[in-house]
Chains A and B, each alone.
Chain A
Amino acid sequence: EIQLTQSPSSLSASVGDRVTITCRASQDITNYLAWFQQRPGKAPKSLIYGASNLQSGVPSKFSGSGSGTDFTLTITSLQPEDVATYYCQQYKGYPLTFGGGTKVEI
């Protein structure tokens, strides 16, 4: 099973800050990595697939990078509506797995 470790597990930042979340895979997953945003009480929303491809309609303030085992989600100019838990997910192998999540607060 491919394990994904996200860090930090939570963070507090100020409006306008740049935020970076990392996701480390236990083995090489090339670029088979996605990122999701889950606002409080809501269903998850897809942000990025293929490690760096922005889903349609997702603002360009979100960006993803990385390959192999180390990946990053960056949020520029943090806004109150970005308060959420962010998850990474790998689809290189079964079972498909998620990271433990990073809770972003302001």
Chain B
Amino acid sequence: EVQVVESGGGLVQPGGSLRLSCVASGFTFSRFWMSWVRQAPGKGLEWVANIKEDGSERYYVDSVRGRFTISRDNAKNSLYLQMDSLRAEDAAVYYCARDFYFDPWGQGTLVTVS
């Protein structure tokens, strides 16, 4: 079964840091771009960042560029999101998703900034 599972969310103070992880299974992880997408409570979906198969290219939404870093470890089938200088507006459920059209999605991990 093709799936991704996120972890690492939690409660953090404004200005703090958090590292999210996503473990993939059921597909050849190293052959796909991977993304982080978030959803603030009661709001719509927002793409956050993505990374090329070999990690050589990374793209970010403007609101997180310079504060968040996306990375991957293909040997561990894992995707990461290092989030620094967190703000209240970063509070959301963060999802890991495969490819440019996001399939599959994980169950998400909740980040609370307060």
Count class of interface residues, chain B: 20 to 34
Q: Is A44's CB within 8 Å of the partner chain B?
A: yes
The answer to whether B44 touches A98 (Cβ under 8 A) is yes
The answer to whether A98 touches B47 (Cβ under 8 A) is yes
Q: A interface vs B, CB < 8 Å?
A: 32, 34, 36, 38, 43-46, 49-50, 55, 87, 89, 91, 94-101
The distance in angstroms between the C-alpha atoms of A91 and B35, with both chains bound, is: 12
Q: Is B11's CB within 8 Å of the partner chain A?
A: no
The distance in angstroms between the C-alpha atoms of A89 and B100, with both chains bound, is: 10
Q: B interface vs A, CB < 8 Å?
A: 35, 37, 44-47, 50, 59-62, 95, 100-108
The residue in chain B whose Cβ has the minimal distance to the Cβ of A43 is B105
The answer to whether A44 touches B59 (Cβ under 8 A) is no
Residues on B with C-beta less than 8 A from A98 are 44-47
Residues on B with C-beta less than 8 A from A32 are 100
